[in-house]
Amino acid sequence: MIQTDICIIGAGPVGLFAVFEAGLLKMRCHLIDALPQIGGQLSEIYPKKPIYDIPGFPEVNAQTLVDNLRQQIAPFKPTFTLGERVDGLTRSEDGSFIVTTVDGTQVKSKVVVIAAGLGSFEPRKPELQNLERFEGRGVTYMVKDPETFRQRRLVIAGGGDSALDWTIYLSAIAERVTLIHRNESFRGAPDSAEKVMKLAEEGKIDLLLSANLQAVNGNGVVKSVSVVDKQKVVKEIETDFLIPLFGLSPKLGPIADWGLNLDKSAIEVNTVDYSTNVEGIFAIGDINTYPGKLKLILCGFHEAALMAQRAFEFVYPSQKLSFKYTTVNGVNAF
């Protein structure tokens, strides 16, 4: 079991900055995110978009902001569990929380901070019979570690940026990549689409356009997929993996069942310290709601600062906190 002071659910910009604010007060953090990378919406939805409303940055690219946050929190040595969705929350006898992920990782902490943004990004799945039976047995909806696919046969399905980018990347390490897309043209970046077409022309990948997945076949593990083209001809492709990349949609998921006061799918908080109605649980960033709430990164940063001041009382109940500027505290806290 991982032990820490604060368990932060969500490694978006707000969860990341909370590590900095907690670190200044000598509180250690462990972050959990359902996505395989940090950065939340910035890295997942708009990595290349410029942002103009971060104080001190007239313009900053979304992924650069995430990279800078990573650098800013590094002195506080946060630890991460990525690619695992938080599923459960219980309280142990000593009053600590135990946060559990779908993959069974457990984190024990005195404080839980929910920085879950729009919720957990869940994969959009193709409608195929028995698909669930093959999940984790050849069917996967995200690429956590590309090495898993070295020298293996892959079928990737989709026409957006993820499908194109992973086809290009994995074609260099997999035994064979087949990309299936239901249309004639791609939704993803034209440059990536061009690269994929070139790989197909050079015979480095198999490309099936205007084709749809029809079935996953196998006995316990994936052995092949059946694909139907627009002439209704069915083709069976032998493969070790099927990776449908049809995009992600956010869902609040199990957090909705934790006894927190909710307004639609946002968590109600007290704006004095961004605490929820459950002692020791805070909610910051896009996930919370209060009168006047703005879903902006800079608002989430402010919420993280106030949350940390109050969280200190749970982590160090016998100590008195005196406010200091960063120039006094320094950032090399651990």
Q: Which is nearer to ligand FAD, 41 or 192 (CB)?
A: 41
CB 158 within 8 A of CB 181: yes
DSSP for 38-99, written as a single string? SSHHHHHT-TT-EE--BTTBSSEEHHHHHHHHHHHHGGG--EEEES--EEEEEE-TTS-EEE
* CB contact at 8 A, 166 and 244: no
Q: Which two tokens stand for residue 287?
A: 């996930």
Instruction: Pick between residue 23 and residue 138 the one whose CB is nearest to ligand FAD.
Output: 23
Return d(Cα 197, Cα 203) in angstroms, integer: 10
How many C-beta atoms surround the C-beta of residue 63 within 10 A? 16
- Least separation in angstroms between residue 298's CB and ligand FAD is 6
Q: Which residues bind ligand FAD (CB under 6 A)?
A: 9-15, 32-35, 40-42, 45-46, 49, 51, 53, 85-86, 115-121, 253, 255, 285-286, 295-298, 300
Nearest-CA neighbor of 216 among 150, 125, 103, 149? 125
Of residues 65 and 242, the one with the C-beta less far from ligand FAD: 65
Is 19 labeled as ligand-binding?
no
Return the number of the residue (31 or 213) whose C-beta is nearest ligand FAD. Answer: 31
Nearer to ligand FAD, 10 or 280 (CB): 10
State in angstroms the smallest separation of the CB of 45 from ligand FAD: 5
Residue 116 CB, shortest distance to ligand FAD, in Å, is 3
From the CB of 208, what's the least distance to ligand FAD, in Å? 31
**What is the smallest separation between the CB atom of 294 and ligand FAD, expressed in angstroms?**
8
Is 290 marked within a binding site? Answer: no
Query: Was 327 annotated as part of a binding site?
Result: yes
Q: How far apart are CA 76 and CA 304, in angstroms?
A: 15
d(CA 173, CA 150): 5
Asked if residue 17 belongs to a known ligand binding site, the reply is: no
Binding-site annotation, residues for FAD: 33, 41, 46, 86, 121, 286, 327
